[in-house]
Every structure is written in C-alpha cells, then in structure tokens.
Chain A
C-alpha cells in the first residue's frame, strides 16, 4: 500500500505517494526527480546520498522516505542561490581542486555545509573528522579540505 506524504525539497513541496519501505534517496531520485544525491553503496558507508533533513545531514539511502514527510529537505540542487549563484562552498570546491569525478561531491558538499552551519570556523582536523562519513576515491580529500578551510576563513 502507498501512503501520501509531502516532501519539502529545496523549498518546494512535492506531494508523493510512496510504499512504506522506500528510502528517501530512491524517492528523491525517482518521484521528485532530483538525481543530484547519488547511490554509492548498500550499507550507508559512502555518504554520496547525503541530504539535509531539518538542517541535519542524513544518508538518504538509509532513511525511510515517509519519515521525512512534512520536513525540510535540502539536496545538492538546493545549495546554489535562487539566482543560480554558486554557494561559496561550491565555488571553493572548484577553485581548490575538490572535484574530480564528482560522484562524491553532492554528499560531500552537503556534509561540509552541515559542518559550517554548526561550526563556522573548524580547524583542519575537525573538518577531516566531520567529513569522514563521505568517501572520496579521487581527490585524497586534500582539495576538499582546502576548500572547506577557504570558506571557513572567509567567514
């Protein structure tokens, strides 16, 4: 049986009808039509699917979509300003070599935003610890850490 729910994604309300077992990631990707959040694993280990739920980072692959009913969800597509201006973190990822293949990038940016929201001036080790739920195979994390540091310093 399907249940009606309203997902508020990036400020827009999406009425959806979903089965109880569906995870948030699959609903975002199929029903809502936002494929920015990625699926990289089966066991909540990679963080490619990370979104903000009421401001907190969650791995959307391991969260029931129905539990997100009525709550505020921010995906990577919601990071840039309405005018299309990149978020400072997005720009810094580009400037600092924080993006290679880009598959971890959506989750990584969400994770970084959550970090700066709770701690505007983290030191390097705090950044590394905070991003540990997001695996990147390309960059060795250096460019990503530099990018977050650069934005933290601007603040």
Chain B
C-alpha cells in the first residue's frame, strides 16, 4: 500500500481543503482498502478520512423527499423506515450488500463514488431520480445520478469534489419498487445480474415505469425500451415479460468466471421480470419482504419468504 499522507477531517471544509491538495476521501474503506489489499489498485498517495465529519452522517426527511448523508451506511438505510417504505428498492439493495460487517462499515457515498458497474444502490438511486451534491473548495453543484456514472470506476466528479449528500424526491402515490439480484449464495454476493424496477400505478394502468439493469453494461443505466413496454400497459404478465425481454435485449453482458454472456442475458430477463412483478405487488399495497432477492430465489430455513 502506497499511501504517504493522511488527515482525518472533522468538517466538510477540512475535507475539501485536503482534497484541494490532491487527497482522496476514505469513508468505510470497504472498497478502497479492500481493493488495495486484493491488488486491484494501490491506495492513493494522500488520504483524507471523512468518517468523523458529522455533517455527512445520517438520513433526514426534508420537504418533498429524503436526504442521505454521504456517510449513511447500508445498515442505516435498512434501519430507516422512510427508506424502506418510500424507496423500497434502495432498501432492497443496501440490505444485500456484503455481510453485516460490510453494511455497518460501507457507506452510500463510497458505494456511489466507487462507481462499480456491479454496485447495488446505483439502479435504485437512478430510478428514483436521486441527485448528488458535489462540493469542492470552489463551489457546489448538483448532478443527477443518471448523469454521474461515466464508466467502470469513473464518475463526472472532479478530483477535488466530495459527495456530501444524495437527495431523493418522494415518489408519487401508487409507486412500488424493487431491486433484485442474482444470488449464488444468500449473503456475500457480488451482482452478476441486477435489476431495478420502480413502477407507479394509476388504477390498473402503469403511469410511470423506471427500469434499470446492473452489472450488464459498463455503467448502470435505465432501459428506455423496457420502460416503454410497460408504460401505459395494464401491468399484465405479458407486459411485464415484454419489458423484461427488452431489458435483456439492451444488456451488453460479458463472459467471465462469474457467468457466460448468454447466461447473464437470460438472467437479465428473469431478474428484471421478478423486479417488475415485485414492484407491481408493492405498488398495489402488497407486502414483500426486504430484501427481495433472497425471497425471489426461494428462501431456506424458514427465512424471508
């Protein structure tokens, strides 16, 4: 590990000051330190630890939505009743990150800024129209999550920019959502295929559908064709299937040790279908356990389902 210098900021300003001179922020370290140990990328030369910056902590409700501090952990998100009720897909996602220890250390800010195409919360945040606040020594700007990711491990953020918070507007009434991931094991998984669905129903009709796929392209993104297939439909099985197939069609999976492209594409359809169906169930007021993924694979030992 090559890091040469270290500061522990206690305020956003201190953090920005360090970042202005080239330091990279570290929150829970579950991407940064793990990546360095595993030989993926050495630690940055200069580090600024932000875990003590209390301004970045917590989840709060504000007019028209929810604000997640960059240091909100996955465990915090799962424990937040507003997140679970209004942004269920996000709770589905945070609840399946790593193991319990990963969820208590790993932050939403780190998850987003690490920008892995396989990371869990990206799909839900994009579909919920989340907006990131990026601050640097020279100013503040807001970037929609849809525009944030530019490639594996890359975002539009400049080196000196700190993600301070994520604001998510409250979805319209009649909205249900779900994030589903293919899981070989019940915990400690990495997304091989993931799908997000946020569906707003108006009576029996789909008024608004947001569908995103994860780990199936260099960046997590919404799939317009899939959304079109569902929008205005009666949320029937046929419409759900059509949307799921469209999502699979839009995927650009690779073949690697985790699965072949052919398998991934097929799973894109399955997982998208399951995410949409569950979102519709939830939009109709039906209950489905959080996280959804384990139950969708069939729980064991009398667990989730």
Contact = CB atoms under 8 A, between A and B. Distances in A.
A touches B (Cβ under 8 A): yes
Interface string A22-44: 11000000000000000000111
Interface stretch (A6-14, A62-70, A81-89): A62-70
Interface string B1-22: 1111110100000000000000
The number of chain A residues touching the other chain, given as a range, is 35 or more
B34 A44 contact: yes
B8 A66 contact: yes
Nearest to B6: A20
Nearest to B2: A21
B156 interface: no
Nearest to A50: B101
B3 A43 contact: no
B292 to A, nearest CB: 15
A132 B99 contact: yes
B302 A23 contact: no
A67 B187 contact: no
B2 to A, nearest CB: 6
B127 to A, nearest CB: 27
Q: A-side binding surface: helix, strand, loop or mixed?
A: mixed
Contacts of B51: 67
Contact of B104 (A58, A69, A125, A129): A58
Contacts of A115: 100
Interface string B148-189: 000000000000000000000000000000000000011110
B38 A43 contact: yes
B82 interface: no
The number of chain B residues touching the other chain, given as a range, is 35 or more
B29 interface: yes
A42 B5 contact: no
B186 A62 contact: no
A115 B109 CA distance: 25
Nearest to A44: B34
B4 A20 contact: yes
Contact of A133 (B33, B99, B300): B99
Contacts of B26: 64, 67
Given A21-B2, A23-B37, A129-B187, A56 B104 contact: yes
A45 B101 contact: no
A114 interface: yes
A128 interface: yes
B7 to A, nearest CB: 9
Nearest to A126: B303
Contacts of B302: 124-125
B8 A63 contact: no
A124 B26 CA distance: 35
A114 B37 CA distance: 25
A44 B34 CA distance: 6
Interface string A125-139: 100111011100000
A63 B5 CA distance: 16
A21 B32 CA distance: 11
Given A125-B302, A133-B101, 20 more contacts: A20-B3, A20-B6, A21-B1, A21-B2, A21-B3, A21-B36, A23-B1, A42-B37, A42-B39, A50-B101, A62-B30, A62-B37, A64-B6, A64-B29, A64-B49, A66-B6, A66-B8, A67-B51, A69-B8, A125-B300
Interface of B: 1-6, 8, 26, 28-30, 33-34, 36-39, 43, 47, 49, 51, 98-102, 104-105, 185-188, 300-303
Interface of A: 1, 3, 19-23, 42-45, 47, 50, 56-59, 61-64, 66-67, 69, 111, 114-115, 124-125, 128-130, 132-134
A-B pairs with lowest CB-CB distance, top 8: A133-B99, A21-B1, A132-B187, A20-B6, A21-B3, A20-B3, A125-B303, A43-B38
22 contacts: A20-B3, A20-B4, A20-B43, A20-B47, A21-B3, A43-B38, A47-B101, A57-B101, A57-B104, A58-B101, A62-B30, A62-B34, A63-B28, A64-B6, A64-B26, A66-B8, A111-B100, A125-B301, A125-B302, A133-B100, A133-B187, A133-B188
